Structure formats: structure tokens, C-alpha cells
Amino acid sequence: MRIGQLAHQAGVDIQTIRFYERRGLLPPPNRQDNGYRIYKAHHADKLLFIRRCRSFGMSLEEIGVLQSYQEQPQQPCVAVNELLDRHITQVRAQIASLQALENQLVTLRGCCDNGRQSLDCGILSGLLGDDKPLS
């Protein structure tokens, strides 16, 4: 299949496929005499794997590591578990950071009611730092 067909099948942009090829996450396809890339089913499988990993917020580096374990199936999966444990820790840190951000935004929102003019807006003053810290 050609790159456009692969992109359509996987639900990604053609540039995304080329990007993954440049990063080494997707193996380079064979080319026809006219220069067109020809992709096989294994390209689609790898692309779907990458997309699934990205949907879990994994970095390109993490995906590359996981792919290396796929290519060497005799290895114990303890390293895969450790990678996922680190990723879970990162996600938990992001959640905590977002919750702190939410609390700050809720506090900021509480600085103003709808009856004021923007000149007296507590939110705008809070964003300027005119009031005490929000935390």
C-alpha cells in the first residue's frame, strides 16, 4: 500500500508517518522504481502500536524502548513493567500538578463576581499579581 492508504487506514497524517520513519519508530518502506513508498501490513501494525502508546501519553523514547522489547521477545518483561511504572508515576505527578492548577483557577475565579467592570475585576488583578498569592 502507498503512504496515503496507510495514513487513511491508521487515521494519521502522512507527515506523521514520515516523522515516525525519521525517528526510527517506523521502519523505512521499500520503494518502487518510481520512488513511491510501498508499505506492508507490518508497517500498519507498528503504526497502530505507536498510536496506542501515544494515546497513553508515552514519549517517543518510551515507545522506542517498548519496540526494542517487541523485537527481542526472549527478554524478561520486568523492564517493560518498570518502564510502565515510571510512566504511571509521571502521569500521577501530572494529575497532581493539574489539580493544583485547578485549585488556583477556582480561587482566582472566586476573586470576581459578574457585576463588576473590568477595571475592578479581581481576576485581572489576580493575574497581574496585585493581590496576595493564590495558593
Per the listing, cell 501515544 goes with 54
- CA distance between the termini of the chain: 55
Confidence band, pLDDT 50/70/90 cuts, at residue 132? low
38, β-bridge pairs: 30
Grid cell for residue 12 = 494519521
Q: Are 108 and 134 in contact (CB under 8 A)?
A: yes
Domains of the chain, with CATH numbers?
A: 1-57 (1.10.1660.10), 88-135 (no CATH)
| Rounded CA separation 9/24 (Å) | 20
Handedness of CA 88, 90, 92, 98 (dihedral sign): negative
Q: What is the pLDDT of residues 94-105, one digit of tens each?
A: 999 999 999 998
Helical pair 14-22 and 41-55, crossing angle rounded to 10 deg: 90
Q: What pTM does this model have? A: 0.77
Q: What is the pLDDT of residues 46-57, one digit of tens each?
A: 999 999 999 999
